[in-house]
Each structure stands twice: as structure tokens, then as C-alpha cells.
Amino acid sequence: MSRKYFGTDGIRGKVGDAPINPEFVLKLGWAAGHVLASQGRRKVVIGKDTRISGYMFESALQAGLSAAGIDVRMLGPMPTPGIAYLTRTLHASAGIVISASHNPHYDNGIKFFSAEGSKLPDKLEYEIEATIDKPMTTVDSSELGKSVRVVDAGGRYIEFCKSTVPMKLDLRGMKIVVDCAHGATYFVGPSVFKELGADVIAIGVEPDGLNINKDCGSTNPKALQEKVLKYEANFGIGFDGDGDRVVMVDEKGEVLDGDELVFIIAQFRKKSGMLKGGVVGTVMTNFGMEAALDENSIPFARASVGDRYVLELMKKNDWYLGGESSGHIICLDRTTTGDGIVSALQVVAAVIESGRTLHELKAGMRKYPQSMINVSRSQDIDIDSNKHIQKAIKDVESELAGNGRVLLRPSGTEPVVRVMVEGRDPVLVDSLTRELAEIVETELNQKS
């Protein structure tokens, strides 16, 4: 079945444009509540990031859920993974996140968690979509849902985050810069590291509803790099607007992306005997990580792009660690979803317990040079069955001699095919990408 509203990560768009407007969100809250109530489940938690439209959508969801007879627990500004955690621990029927993650303030979205703190089952999403198109009704006034604000939500989540690392972990004597992107981690992020003993320099902690993700955070770590060098910090940590992604900056001011962070966690766990199975990345994961994991005898598998696909493959393989280069990292032995704070703590634990710097730890993985060209397409053809393209791919792979890879990936949002080549030699990689792109362009745009 195809979805009308839900995408791979909830419902997202520009504020004011359908479906991200008050009318739709009111109806969405009612529809979700109606479906949950029909199953005898009557409590939902709602959390949000710091963008200004969150107030409007919080009220709309609250009204819709109440009309369906659902009690609401209001969490206020809270990282997305914190909402997943509190959905579980408050024994709610579902959790609702109001956030557009790393997008600008003028976007927003609605995302649901199941009672277990994981993605809502497809069956429930389909039922909610089917209900949205029905006339809205209101339960008897004696059955209306009640709303209560959870005043200690932040404190509960801080304690959870700290519980994901050993009790003996002591950050006293360490200086850390934490960039919260003026987003949902603005309070809990610095607090976690302070309570573990670190000297924390916090930036991106003055949200005004409009500055979320603006020139800061994991998507723009320049300010974080500058502060790490200025204050001679041990390292820096950068979150995105809703706190499910993280990048780090080492003591030399160099940025570590999700691939490098996953490698550090995997290598540390392997040496400590804590790694179960292997690591899941995506088709976009740098070949350098695959090579480094192989050197450490750690199995690796690639999923399609998107955290839901990473999680699916992790569960299929019964592995506990996976992630994307964007910094969306999942540690299933610690929590149920991607969590920027929890992931950063796993890296910090590796730094402390190994006695090495972050720069030294990342040296175990060498990122391969990557070149990508977007090739416009005027028609849809099956790349896998096109003999000319397939021969060109094999020729490039032969040139790389096992020290690189080729990826052709049609975009899901634009009429282009992304042609990517990775390898040890940047000059060769550049040349091979251009050659392959020319062949792909010829085949994609030839007249039938």
C-alpha cells in the first residue's frame, strides 16, 4: 500500500503549506487518537524541538487527541530520542515528535513512536491515514482526554543518557565544546557532560524559535571547530536541531562524521569484547570505513539510505551498531533509535578508557577520496539491465583493483542519477567519475 501523507520519517514540509498546517495537524491528532482508542490505548506523549511553529502544532495535536479521548503528557522541548525513551518509561501508547530535524525553522514535521520507542508499525500508519479522511467527531465531554505537563522530563532523560556509559566514567579535567544548534538539546546536552564532570563550553544554546540549525550544529560545524581551537578543548560535539545526529571535532579542529564515529565505537567495542556481530552502514558509507572494519575483522553490511533501513538490517542480522555518515548512529544495546547524545557518549568512553585522543582514535580509519556527479535524465531506464552502463561500471571497478567502489543511485527527489566513485587516488577517482558520468548521460538521454 502506498502512503498519502507519511514518508519514511513521518510527515514533513513547509509550515503553512499542506499538510503542515494547523487544520491538518488537528485532524492528524484526532485520527491517531481515534485509532489508538479503538485498541484500548489512551495515553500519548508529545515533545518538540525549538522552532516557533512547534507551539502551534503542539496545541493542535493536543486538541485533536483530547477530542478522541486520549490523555496527553506534554514534554516540551526535548530531543527526539528523549521522546522515544520517555514514551517507553511513561508507558504511553505512542509518542509524537514535532520536529523537522536538521531543516530550517520554516519547515516542521510530525513523527510517531510506538509504545516500545521505535518506529510506529506500518499497519497503524495506514489506519491513521485512512481515518484522517473521515469526518472528525468528539467523544462525550466526560471522556475527553486530559493534558499534564511532565515537569521533570529533561532530568529523566539526562539520567538515562548517563546510564549508557560505565558508572566509573569520569570526565573531570576534560574541556568539551558542545554545540546544540539552538535546538532540542540546548538544555540536556550540556547538562549530561557537566554532570559527568567535564568543563563544558556550550554554544548554540539560545533558541529563539527562528535560529534552529542556522549556521551551527552538526550540519555546519565551523563555529564548533573555531571554539575547540580557541579554548584548546579536548574535543567538540555538535548536534542537529532535534538531537538524533552528532558530529565531533578533534583537538586539532578536524571534523569527524558519522562514519568515523561509528568506526571508533566499533573498534573500541571489538577490543573490549563488547561488540556483538558487525556494523550496518548505507550505500553512501565511505569505503574507508568498510576497509578499516575489515582490517579489524569486523563484519560490515550496507543498507539503503535512511535510518529506518539501517535499523531493519541491524535487526535482521541481530547486530547492535549501525549508522550513516550524517551522524545518525544507532546503538541498539543502549537505546531504540538514533541518539546524538548517547552516540557521543560511546565515543567519549572510547577516548577515556583507551587513554588516547580523538585524533589518534580516528587515525585507524582513512577516508577514501570520493567524487560524485549528478547526471540529468530525460527518461527512466533500468540501469541494472543496461549493458553499456554495466560494462562501464565493471571497467571502472577493474581500474580501482579492489581499492574503491562505484555507486549509481537514482535520486528520489530529482530527475538525476548520482554517479559516485571512491578510491585511494583522488586524481584517478576524479577521472573515472567523469568518464563513467559521460557514458551514463549518453545512455540515459538517448532518443528511443
Q: Which of 93, 101, 191, 343 is catalytic?
A: 101
Active site residue 325: no
Other residues' Cβ atoms within 10 Å of the Cβ of residue 17: 11
Helix ranges, 251-333 (H): 258-272, 287-295, 307-317
The residue type of 422 is E
φ and ψ at residue 311, rounded to 5 degrees? -65, -40
Q: Which three cell numbers stand for residue 269?
A: 567495542
CA-closest candidate to residue 156, choices 45, 248, 312: 45
State phi, psi for 186 to the nearest 5 degrees: -55, -30
Planar angle of CA 254, 278, 10, nearest 5 degrees: 75
Cα separation of 28 and 12, whole Å? 13
State whether residue 353 is helix, strand or coil: helix
* DSSP code of residue 384: G
Distances (CA, A) of 162 to 91, 158, 180, 341: 21, 6, 18, 9
Look up cell 486530559; give the residue. Answer: 146
Q: How far is CA 293 from the centre of its chain?
A: 22
Contact 94, 42 (CB under 8 A): no
Within 10 Å of residue 86's Cβ, how many Cβ atoms? Answer: 23
Show the cell assigned to 66: 483530547
Q: Say how far apart CA 96 and CA 85 lie, in whole Å.
A: 12
Rounded to an integer, what distance in angstroms lies between the CA atom of residue 210 and that of residue 51? 6
Q: How far apart are CA 272 and CA 414, in angstroms?
A: 44
- How far is residue 155's CA from residue 162's CA, in Å, rounded to a whole number? 11
Which amino acids are annotated catalytic? 101
